Chain A
Amino acid sequence: MNGAWVTFKKELLSYLVSPVGWVIAVVFYLWRGYEMAQEAERFAVRRLDLDLFSTSSYGLPSTFLMVLLVPGVLTMRCFAEERRTGSIETLMTAPVRDGAVVVGKWGAAAVFFSLLWLPSIVVLWVLGFEPFFGVGLSFGPVIAAYLGMFLLSGMLLAFGCFASSLTDNLLLAALLAILFDFALLSLPRQIAAGVSDLENRYYLREILQKFDVAQNFADWFSRGLIDTSQVAFYVGGVVFFLFLTTVSLSSRRYA
């Protein structure tokens, strides 16, 4: 695992010194901050149940845009950039397994993505104090929702790595990943809506239900519930796409 760890450290450093990551962070937090302020005002004016505030903050548009766009943008460099500059040759001729490189790159993207999210917990914590709500907000659902968010993002980042391994064009890699994210978030629901006798088609219904990421997220993680089958779905997705990425890289050796 030395290769994975070394790659992870180098890639994480690249994210931390790259302006792209920080631009994403700044734009995200300006927007998120504005949305949270609006949401806090809505709760205060309408005197809504504050226990729901943490959960409700996950339904904000910035969450979906973050999940939809950022994984593709973060991972577009992973292999496409290495191919474009030719450094893939020095990387792949070093004595390190392809799978270790893939895991290292995905791990760095996942950790950086998580770092982008972590300050949003601080925002919730601050809102619990005077002169804001002045009550302890419920953090149980927050933890479950963050876990769900990381699992979902992990799978989308793994797909982003795969997309990046297919081309040397960064934009194309990002676009592929974003299209996949969009399809995963919206297609199952749209397909389900388009099938007239879905109730009678057990397997199709089950499959669409399992893949309806947005609905599952709303039904489980954002309510503070952790379903092991959901966890297995996302972990399986991560493993599957990292495997595909490794195969894509290794195919060069077996061509």
Chain B
Amino acid sequence: MIRVSDLSKRFGATLAVDRVSFEVSRGEVVGFLGPNGAGKTTTIRVLTCYHPATSGSASIAGCDVATDSLRARRAIGYLPENVPIYPDLRVVEYLHYRAALKGVPRKDRRAAVQRAMEKAEVVDVARKPCGNVSRGYRQRVGLADALVANPPILILDEPTSGLDPNQRRRIKQVVRDLATEHTILFSSHILSEVQDVSSRILVIHRGTLRADGAPAELVAKSAARTLRAVAKASPSQMLDLATGVPGLRGARATRVDDVCSALVAEVAPGVDPSADVGARLLAAGLVPTELRIDMPTLEEFFHRVTEGGDEGAADTLGGVA
């Protein structure tokens, strides 16, 4: 449904997006992650035909955004980051106007507006002027606008930006519900949201695509798991225990309190050394009070990809994309 190939966008001397390529298939919900200023909005603006690409190409539902812009725009429902809506129009009037502008036939317009308002949960502010609704409702009015022509693709740019936790939860729920009927690309820099809602994530940083894949898969492949064992022993005893265990590396031991020490070590991919470590502890007469393998978090992965320099990026894309 969305195909981006070697897309670059330059603003004067600044290269905002650098040879980005990805595809989004029908029915996918893809999170577009990146720190502020990473190039998310610029990429989205090229996809929505607001800006032209400097080089490369992008197509929406088979229509090139540069040469077949009108048809491409017909296939998109777009929620921009700042949700610019006309403050003097009532919510229902605004949605009627947008439906008409998007070519929804007059006879279907009332039903289309009603359906969009119900999906975005803005029915209770339908008669209010857009300028008088809260930030959360404003965001949902923008979402209703994106939905009003029932496009197959939704592109949502930071749909939860500036919202309180309750409003964020509502928007996430709405996006989750929409996922059954639409292909969704939504950008965010809030990791938990992306993890909750999307089946796949794209990470962009400094204009380049750093990662592409399912969140769990990306996290597992890009960051190491950690083994942690705590027992009534000295740090040196714990370190001795770790020596020679297959799949453990970078072991270090620290004292937890007067009697216990903790062993922390990286675990190699595809290996589970916890049984081995447990058996060694018992054999040495040490009773473990804690023995677990910690999975890396998306946050750690994101930090690694966006702050870890090009090395981390190469690891991630090379392994997953």
Q: Are A252 and B50 in contact (CB-based, < 8 A)? A: yes
Kindly state whether residue B73 has any CB partner on chain A within 8 Å: yes
- For A200, the chain B residues whose CB sits under 8 A away are none
Tell me which residues from 61 to 77 in chain B have a Cβ below 8 Å from any Cβ of chain A: 69-71, 73-74, 76
**B55 CB within 8 Å of chain A:** no
In A109-156, the 8 Å CB interface with B consists of: none
B84: A residues at CB distance < 8 A: 85-90
Contact with A along B67-91 (1 / 0, CB 8 A): 0011101101010101011101000
Complex CA distance for A254 and B69, rounded to whole angstroms: 12
Q: Which residues on A sit within 8 Å (CB–CB) of B88?
A: 14, 17-18
Q: Is the CB of B102 within 8 A of A95?
A: yes
Residue of A nearest to B99 (CB): A6
Return the contact of A90 from the options B69, B78, B100 (Cβ within 8 A): B78
Give bound CA distance, A88 to B101, whole Å.
14
Task: Indicate whether A93 sits within 8 Å of B73 (C-beta atoms), given known contacts A86-B84, A87-B84, A254-B52.
Answer: yes
Q: Which residues of B contact A87 (CB under 8 A)?
A: 84-86
Interface flags for A1-28 (1: CB within 8 Å of B; 0: not) read: 0110011001000100110000000000
In the bound complex, what is the Cα–Cα distance between A97 and B45 (angstroms)? 17
Contact of A253 with B49 at beta-carbon distance under 8 Å, contacts A90-B84, A90-B145 already known: yes
**Chain B minimum-CB-distance residue to A18:** B88
> Which listed residue, A6, A90, A97, touches B70 by the CB 8 Å rule?
A97
Assess the A93–B76 pair: CB atoms within 8 A. yes
Kindly state whether residue B59 has any CB partner on chain A within 8 Å.
no
Instruction: Answer whether residue A96 sits at the interface, using C-beta atoms and an 8 A cutoff.
Output: yes
Closest to B76 in A: A93
Q: How far, in Å, is A119 (CB) from chain B's closest CB? A: 25
Check B26 for interface membership: any CB of A closer than 8 A. no
Contact in complex: B48, A93 (CB < 8 Å) = yes
Scoring A91, A94, A252 by chain B CB atoms within 10 A of each residue's CB, the highest score goes to: A94
Residues of A within 8 A of B85 (CB): 87, 90
- Alpha-carbon distance between A7 and B50 when the two chains are bound, in angstroms: 19
Given contacts A95-B73, A253-B69, contact A90 B102 (CB under 8 A): no
How long is the Cα–Cα vector from A10 to B89 in the complex, in angstroms?
A: 9
A93 contact set on B, CB distance < 8 A: 48-50, 73, 76, 78, 80
CB-CB under 8 A from A95, the residues of chain B are 70-71, 73-74, 101-103
| A255 on the B face (CB < 8 A) | yes
Q: How far is the CA of A92 from the CA of B50 in the complex (A)?
A: 7
A residues near B102, Cβ cutoff 8 Å: 94-96
CA distance A66 to B160 in the complex (A): 47
Inter-chain contacts of A18 with B (CB < 8 A): 88
Please give the distance in Å from A6's CB to the nearest CB on chain B: 4
Kindly state whether residue B51 has any CB partner on chain A within 8 Å.
yes
- Interface flags, B207-242, vs A, CB<8A=1, else 0: 000000000000000000000000000000000000
Bound complex: CA A253 to CA B52 (Å): 5
- Which A residues, 64 to 116, have Cβ-Cβ distances below 8 Å to chain B? 85-97
Please tell me if B98 contacts chain A, counting CB pairs below 8 Å.
yes
Name B145's closest neighbour in chain A (CB-CB). A90
CA distance A252 to B101 in the complex (A): 20
Report whether A2 and B80 are in contact in the complex, using a CB–CB cutoff of 8 Å.
no
Chain A residues within an 8 Å CB radius of B71:
95
A6 touches B51 (CB 8 A): no
Q: Which residues does chain A contribute within 8 Å of B49, judged by CB atoms? A: 92-93, 253
Measured between C-beta atoms, what is the minimum distance from A27 to chain B in Å? 22
With A and B bound together, what is the CA distance between A14 and B88 in angstroms? Answer: 8
Q: Which residue of B lies closest to A14 (CB)?
A: B88
Instruction: Please determine whether A255 and B70 come into contact, CB atoms closer than 8 angstroms.
Output: no
Best-buried of B49, B100, B101 by chain A (most CB within 10 Å): B101
Q: Residue-by-residue, is A185-215 near B (CB-CB < 8 Å gives 1, otherwise 0)?
A: 0000000000000000000000000000000
Minimum Cβ distance to chain B for residue A170 (Å): 15
- B residues less than 8 Å from A252 (CB atoms): 50-51
Provide the bound-state CA to CA distance between A10 and B98, in Å. Answer: 10
Q: In the complex the two chains form, is B74's CB within 8 Å of A89's CB?
A: no
Contacts of A14 in B (CB 8 A): 86, 88
Report A193 CB to chain B, min CB distance, Å.
45
Interface residues of B (CB under 8 A from A): 45, 48-52, 69-71, 73-74, 76, 78, 80, 82, 84-86, 88, 97-98, 100-103, 145
Taking A86-B82, A89-B45, A94-B98 as given, write out 5 further A-B residue pairs in contact, using a Cβ cutoff of 8 Å, ordered by the A residue number. A89-B50, A90-B80, A90-B84, A94-B102, A95-B71
- State the 8 A-B residue pairs at the shortest beta-carbon distance, nearest first: A86-B84, A87-B84, A95-B73, A95-B74, A6-B100, A93-B48, A94-B101, A89-B80
23 contacts between A and B (CB under 8 A): A3-B101, A6-B100, A86-B82, A87-B84, A88-B84, A89-B45, A89-B84, A90-B78, A90-B84, A90-B98, A92-B49, A92-B50, A93-B50, A93-B73, A93-B78, A94-B73, A94-B98, A95-B73, A95-B74, A252-B51, A253-B49, A254-B52, A255-B52
